[in-house]
Amino acid sequence: MDARVLDSKSPEAVHHTPTLGIFGNPPLGCVKIEGRNIDVVELYRIMTGGGGSTRGPHRPSQVIYFYDYVVRASVADMEKEMKAEVDPVEKGLLKKEVIDFKWKGGRLAQLLGSDSTLSNMIYEAGIPYLEVKPNKKDSFVAISTARRKWSTTHVTINGIPVRRYDITVGRKAFPSREAFDIYDRIAMHIRNITAT
C-alpha cells in the first residue's frame, strides 16, 4: 500500500473545525493513502474511566486508540443519506451471540446491505461494529468502529480489548489487511454516492 504521514497543517489533511470537549481533540496523526478509496487514516486517543467513590472500588483509567478511515467528500445536504451502522442480530438471554447483521441508516446503508461481497468480508471478519459518520461542516465522511460498543474494563486498541500488560504497539496495533479492505469497500460506496 502506498501511504505517507501528513503534517496536520498539510492541505491534504482534513482541517477539523475546533470544538469543545473530548470529541473536539484533533487527531494524533494522519496518513495519506494513495490509489485506494480511502483518502486518509486518522489516529485518535481518548482517556475514559478512572476514579471511584468512597463506597466502591477504584476503577482504572483506560486509554483507547482508534482510527477513522476518511473519504474527503462534499456531504452537502446528504447527511442523513450518508449515515450507516452495522446492527448485529443477537440470540441468547444471558450469553449474547451475534448470529447475523444488517445495515441501518439512509441510502448508503441500503447500498452497503445489498453488497454481497462486502457482507461476506464482514462475516469473515467476525461482524465488527462499524459506523459511517458524515461531516458536512468539514467535508468528509469517516468510517470507524462504533464507540459505544467498546469495553469499559480493559485497555482497548481500535475497539479491541487487550489485557493491561499485553498492549501491542507498532504494526500489530494496526487493523488487519482484511479489516482495511472492508473500510475501503465501504469508502467505494461513499464515493459512488458523493461522486468524488
> 55-85, pLDDT tens digit by residue?
556 555 667 778 899 999 999 889 999 999 9
What's the average model confidence in pLDDT over 157-163?
A: 47
Q: Answer whether residue 148 is part of any domain.
A: yes
Q: Which domain holds residue 177?
A: 2-74+133-194
* Residue 55: predicted pLDDT: 59
Q: Answer whether residue 92 is part of any domain.
A: no
* Residue 61: predicted pLDDT: 65
Q: Answer whether residue 189 is part of any domain.
A: yes
Whole-angstrom distance, CA of residue 70 vs CA of residue 184? 10
Q: Would the pLDDT of 132 be above 90?
A: yes
Helix ranges (H only) for 57-137 are: 79-82, 107-113, 116-125
Q: Which pTM value belongs to this model?
A: 0.78
* Residue 21: predicted pLDDT: 57
- The residues that bridge with 68 in the sheet, in sequence order, are 42
Q: Answer whether residue 13 is part of any domain.
A: yes
In the predicted model, what is the mean pLDDT of the chain? 79
Q: How many domains does the chain have?
A: 1
Whole-angstrom distance, CA of residue 81 vs CA of residue 133? 10
Residue 71, C-alpha cell as written in the block: 473519504
Q: Answer whether residue 108 is part of any domain.
A: no
Q: Which residues 6+ apart lie within 8 Å of 137 measured at CB?
A: 17
Whole-angstrom distance, CA of residue 134 vs CA of residue 185? 16
Q: Would the pLDDT of 154 be above 50?
A: no
10-62 pLDDT tens trace: 989 988 887 665 556 778 889 999 999 999 999 887 766 655 555 556 555 66
Q: Tell me the range of 93-97, 131-135, 171-175 where mean pLDDT is highest.
A: 131-135
Q: Answer whether residue 187 is part of any domain.
A: yes
* Residue 57: predicted pLDDT: 60
Least confident of 30-34, 63-67, 127-131, 152-156: 152-156
Greatest CA span in the chain, whole angstroms?
Answer: 56
Q: Answer whether residue 87 is part of any domain.
A: no
Q: What is the DSSP letter of 11?
A: T
Least confident of 37-46, 170-179, 183-192: 170-179
Whole-angstrom distance, CA of residue 103 vs CA of residue 72? 22
Q: Which residues 6+ apart lie within 8 Å of 108 measured at CB?
A: 81, 82, 83, 84, 132, 189, 190, 193
* Residue 86: predicted pLDDT: 92
Q: Answer whether residue 84 is part of any domain.
A: no
